[in-house]
Amino acid sequence: MIDATKFVEDSLEEIRKTVSKSGVISACSGGVDSTVTTFLVHKALGEQMVAVFIDDGLRREGEPEFVMRTLKNLGIRAKYVDAKKEFLDVFKGKTDAEEKRKAFRDKFYTTLGRVSKEENVKFIAQGTIKADVIETVKGIKSQHNVLEQIGIDSKVYGYKILEPLRELFKPDVRKVARELGLPKEVSERMPFPGPALSLRVLGEVTPEKISIVRKATEIVEEETKGLRAFQSFAVLHNDKATGIKNGRRVYGNIVTIRIVDSEDALKAKAKQVSYEILMRVSERITGEIPSVVRCLYDITDKPPATIEFE
Ligand code: XMP
C-alpha cells in the first residue's frame, strides 16, 4: 500500500509543475478514479481547472444529477456536457466488443477536444489507473482511457493528458480518497466502467436496450447493497428466449446478473450469493421489466472470464 499523504503531496507538486499556468479540464464520470483525479487537480490548481461531466446517455439511473451534485458539494467548478445523441450514434451497426470500445474511446476524446477548445485549455486530466493500462497494453481490452501507453499521441485530439493515478491500483485510489477527506459515497463507491452501460449490452447498443439494462442495474444494485461486493451489475444479452407473461408466450430478453469479489480487478471471484437474494433479483427484474423473461447468474471467475462482458 502506498503512503497516501506523500502521494498527495508529490502529486500536487507534479501537477503544478506540469501544467504551470495553462488551463485544465478534468473528465469526471463520477467513479472513484475520476473523482479522486478531479479533486487532486482542483486542489493543485483551484480555478485553473474545470471538471467536465460528459452525459453520454449510458450512465446509471440518476447518475448525471449525482455527479453534478457531488462536484458542487466539493466546491469544484463543473460543466455538464449533453452528448447523449452523438454517443448513441457511434454504436449504430456495431456488434463487435472491441469495435464498440474503440468507437466509444474516439467519441470520448473528440468530445473532450471540443470542450478543451471551448474552454481554451491545453490539458485534460483523467482517472486512468494501473489496471486499465496493464489490460489494454496486454491486448485484453481497449479501455476507454488508455491512449499514450499504446502509442496514440493525445496531440491528435488537440491536448496533453494528465494521469495522476496512473501507477495506482484500486485499493490505493480509495486510500487517497480517504486521505483527501472525500465523502464515503465517493471513496467507497463501487467501480463503474467509463464506457458505462455500453459494456453491458451485448451486440448493438440502442436506447431501448440501454433503458432495459439501466433498470436491471438499478435493481441488482439495490438488492445486493448489503453484500459489499467489489462489483454487482446486470448484463443484457443479444439473444432472446421463450417465456410466459400474463399467460401468453413472449419471445423476450435474457439478463445475466454478475456479482464479483476482487482486490484490484485483475482477478475476480464470482461471489457465492444466497438463493434468496438471487431469486429476489430475478423476480424483480422479470416482474418490473416487461420484455425480460429470463435471469441467469454468472458463476465464472476472472480468469477465464473478465468482469465486464464486453
Ligand atoms: P474487466 O472486464 O476487464 O474489467 O475484467 C476490469 C475492471 O475495469 C473496469 N473496466 C473499465 N473501466 N474503462 C474503465 O474506466 C473501460 O474501458 C473499462 N473496461 C472495464 C471494469 O468495470 C472492472 O472494474
At residue 12, the pLDDT reads: 98
DSSP bridge pairs for 257: 234, 297
> Cα of 196 to ligand 1 centre, how many Å?
9
In the predicted model, what is the mean pLDDT of the chain? 96
Residue nearest to ligand 1 atom 20, measured at CA: 193
CB count in 10 Å sphere of residue 190? 15
> Cα of 276 to ligand 1 centre, how many Å?
28
Name the residue ranges covered by the structural domains of the chain. 4-187, 201-297
CB count in 10 Å sphere of residue 206? 13
Q: What is the pLDDT of residues 153-179, one digit of tens each?
A: 988 888 999 999 999 999 999 999 999
Atom of ligand 1 nearest to the CA of 309: 2
At residue 3, the pLDDT reads: 97
> Cα of 169 to ligand 1 centre, how many Å?
12
Residue 89 contacts residue 58 (beta carbons within 8 Å): no
CA distance 107 to 127: 17
At residue 43, the pLDDT reads: 97
Atom of ligand 1 nearest to the CA of 308: 2
> Cα of 132 to ligand 1 centre, how many Å?
7
What values do phi and psi take at 272, rounded to 5?
-85, 110
CATH of domain 4-187: 3.40.50.620
At residue 148, the pLDDT reads: 87
Cell numbers 449510458 correspond to what residue?
Answer: 58
Residue nearest to ligand 1 atom 16, measured at CA: 143
Pocket of ligand 1 (CB under 6 A): 132, 135, 141, 143-145, 191, 193-195, 231, 265, 302, 306-308
CA distance 38 to 25: 9
> 201-297: what CATH class?
alpha beta
Atom of ligand 1 nearest to the CA of 31: 15
At residue 157, the pLDDT reads: 87
Residue 253 contacts residue 292 (beta carbons within 8 Å): yes
Residue range 88-94: mean pLDDT, rounded? 98
Atom of ligand 1 nearest to the CA of 310: 2
Residue range 65-72: mean pLDDT, rounded? 98
> Cα of 20 to ligand 1 centre, how many Å?
32
DSSP labels, the chain: ---HHHHHHHHHHHHHHHHTT--EEEE--SSHHHHHHHHHHHHHHGGGEEEEEEE-S-SPTTHHHHHHHHHHHTT--EEEEE-HHHHHHHTTT---HHHHHHHHHHHHHHHHHHHHHHHT-SEEE----HHHHHHHHTTS---TT--GGGT--GGGGTSEEE-TTTT--HHHHHHHHHHTT--HHHHTPPP--TTGGGGGB-SS--HHHHHHHHHHHHHHHHHHGGG--SEEEEEEEEEEEEEEETTEEEEEEEEEEEEEE-SSSSSBEE----HHHHHHHHHHHHHHSTTEEEEEE----BTTS-SS--
At residue 4, the pLDDT reads: 98
Atom of ligand 1 nearest to the CA of 142: 17
Please check the confidence at residue 299 and state whether its pLDDT lies above 90.
Answer: yes
**Least confident residue range of 41-50, 76-85, 154-163, 175-184:** 154-163
Q: What is the pLDDT of residues 214-249, one digit of tens each?
A: 999 999 999 999 999 999 999 999 999 999 999 999
At residue 158, the pLDDT reads: 87
List the grid coordinates of 243: 417465456
> Cα of 250 to ligand 1 centre, how many Å?
33
Q: What is the pLDDT of residues 196-214, one digit of tens each?
A: 999 999 999 999 999 999 9
Residue 143 contacts residue 131 (beta carbons within 8 Å): no
Alpha carbon 174 to its chain's center: 16
Topology alike, domains 4-187 and 201-297? no
Residue range 267-287: mean pLDDT, rounded? 98
Residue range 263-291: mean pLDDT, rounded? 97
